[in-house]
Amino acid sequence: MKIGIDFGTSFSLPAALINNNPALLLSGGQYGVPSVFYYDRRQDILIGKPAENRGKFRPENVVRNIKMDISNPNKKNFRLDGKTFGKKQIVGRILGEIKQLALEEIERKQLISQKIDGAVISVPAAFTLRELNFIRDAAQDEAALKVLGFIREPVAAAISYFNAPSAKDEKTILVYDLGGGTCDVAIVRSDKNSKEWYKVIDSDMKRIGGRDWDKLLGELIKRKCREQNSDIKFDLRTENKILAAAINAKHNLSRQEIFISDIEIEDELYDIEITRREFEKITSELLQETMRMVDKLKDNCAGKIDYIVCVGGSSNMPQVRRAFEKNYPDIEIKLFEPEKAIAFGAAIYAEHLTEENFLHDICKFSYGAKYVQNFAKYRDYKRFRIYNLIYKGDALPTSGESISYHIDSGATSTYIEIYESECTEDIYLPEEGTYIGEIEIRGLKNSKRGDETILKMTIDKSGLMQLKAIDTRTKNSADVEIQLEEY
Ligand SMILES: Nc1ncnc2c1ncn2[C@@H]1O[C@H](COP(=O)(O)OP(=O)(O)OP(=O)(O)O)[C@@H](O)[C@H]1O
Ligand SMILES: [Mg+2]
């Protein structure tokens, strides 16, 4: 069976199509597994709820929000109770736990297919090639979970929305997904009469999510504690307690206007009273930043938007709906399965992955190769330029080709550096993009100055890259997996 996995910053969920309907593969009405990793020498590794529970007492042994650290070069390894864990291992163990829980549920439900053939994993709208490859390798190497493909989170939510019995065809929706770590937006059109069933018009992402609201609320709680005791000290344990109190307060403030509670720090009780108005005031800039992204996407979209569909746990905050009502009074706003929509969409997509016309997404970045500009003056290395082969906004899958020439005779191998960027010009300077890795064609014999190397680059439907390089005279070729720079 093929499954969909919503690998979230705060919660992860597996889902599958059962009798053609999407269903979570979790027992006992659980709505997600905390994406939390814990280790100590006695308990060994714990994932999810047990990690969360144990971590309350030993916060120094916990890793949270790992999805947001995949691209953080300052966080390569984590040292927990004397043992070092790599990021890939942590992501892999979380995905492995999700796979295991899904298998248990498949067995419990006595579904016909008892094994998992692979998964479609949802990812934020603008995760980079390196982040996608990282997640794929973590799943495959650490969890023996084959990744069939990726889908952008708001696009998965859109598919899930259109798949619901009440949804109407031939509509264009704007999906706003405010999760724990990112805010993702996409404009998606559904038209089952056309060649493209689901067509992504545009999408974007910001690394803003519920955890940023939590941080600000935590700061407010600390200020309130300090007002009651100016000598109060916050160590890792109390910081953690405050974060938990902030999350609890935030959830309560989605239902009620005022939150009143006591918090115990170092045997002292502190009175905490927070109004919704106060909470919304300190977090309004975060919300506005996400709304500016919505405005930009909507302004660039020529067609009419029929609905705004809000998903993601943080869309439960009343401030989200209010902002949309104020900014777009003419568009109907729907809160749709905030916790489940993305996993459901990934599960639906997993079943339709091989159908060419099911989903048309667009490339989120441009990809180019580094060559010397003006071959005759090659010794001037300042003349390196990036030549784009694939452009941001191209419909997926997409491919491009370029030719480079040997600078000297006698080379035994060719290296080509690959860059990722937002640049849509044909040629740009290296510093405007990001070096992501290189490929190599080895074993060249008797190569001459001026020999041609053709590079073919493809970005598949999932946003992953395939490369083929051919040295045209020697016919040496390389079907190469790009050696990506590790974060
Ligand atoms: N009722 C609620 N009110 C406010 N916030 C909520 C509520 N329910 C959930 N949240 C918040 O939603 C966030 C989790 O949402 P979700 O599960 O969609 O995120 P995620 O998928 O883990 O993260 P991401 O998609 O950004 O990687 C958390 O920050 C959580 O505190
Ligand atoms: Mg999410």
Atom of ligand 1 nearest to the CA of 251: 3
Q: Nearest residue CA, atom 29 of ligand 1? A: 210
pTM: 0.94
Q: Could you tell me the distance, in angstroms and rounded to a whole number, from the CA of residue 286 to the centre of ligand 2?
A: 17
Please name which of 310, 10, 285, 95 lies closest in space to residue 185, comparing C-alpha atoms: 310
Q: What is the CATH number of the domain that holds 409?
A: 2.60.34.10
Q: Give the C-alpha separation, 361 to 151, whole Å.
A: 9
DSSP string covering 210-245: HHHHHHHHHHHHHHHHHHH-TT----HHHHHHHHHH
225 and 187 together in one domain: no
Query: What is the 356 CA–ligand 2 centroid distance (Å)?
Result: 26
- Boundaries of domain holding 249: 210-281
155-168 pLDDT per residue, tens = 999 999 999 887 77
pLDDT digits (tens, 9 = 90+) for 57-69: 899 999 999 999 9
**What stretches of 129-170 adopt beta strand conformation (E)?**
147-152
Same domain, 121 and 251: no
User: Do residues 106 and 242 share a domain?
Assistant: no
pLDDT in tens, 401-432: 999 888 888 888 888 899 999 999 999 999 99
Last residue in a domain, options 360, 382, 398 = 360
Least confident stretch, 195-199, 320-324, 349-353, 473-477: 473-477
CATH of residue 180 = 3.30.420.40
Q: Is 9 in the pocket of ligand 1 (CB under 6 A)?
A: yes
Calpha distance 462→169 (Å, rounded):
24
Assess whether 133 and 200 both reside in one domain. yes
Would you say the CB of residue 154 lies under 6 angstroms from ligand 1?
no
Task: Identify whether residues 99 and 228 lie together within a single domain.
Answer: no
Q: 29 with 88, same domain?
A: yes
Asked if residue 446 has pLDDT above 90, the reply is no
Domain boundary among 219, 248, 281: 281
Percentage of the residues of the chain whose pLDDT score is greater than 90 = 77
Same domain membership, residue 214 and residue 204: no
Tokens of 415: 């290296």
User: Rounded to an integer, what distance in angstroms lies between the CA atom of residue 150 and that of residue 262?
Assistant: 44
Shared domain for 349 and 222, answered yes or no, is: no
Report how far ligand 1's centroid is from the alpha carbon of 184 (Å). Answer: 13
Among 249, 281, 313, the domain boundary falls at 281
pLDDT digits (tens, 9 = 90+) for 32-81: 999 999 999 999 999 999 999 999 889 999 999 999 999 999 999 999 99
Q: Are residues 134 and 106 in the same domain?
A: yes
For the chain, the domain total comes to 3
CATH at 219: 3.90.640.10
Confidence band (pLDDT; 50, 70, 90) for 352?
very high
| Closest ligand 1 atom number to CA of residue 213 | 29
Measured in Å, residue 117 CA sits from the centre of ligand 2 at: 23
State whether 442 and 347 are in the same domain.
Answer: no
**Tokens (6 digits) for 88:** 């890939």
Residues 299, 176 share a domain: yes
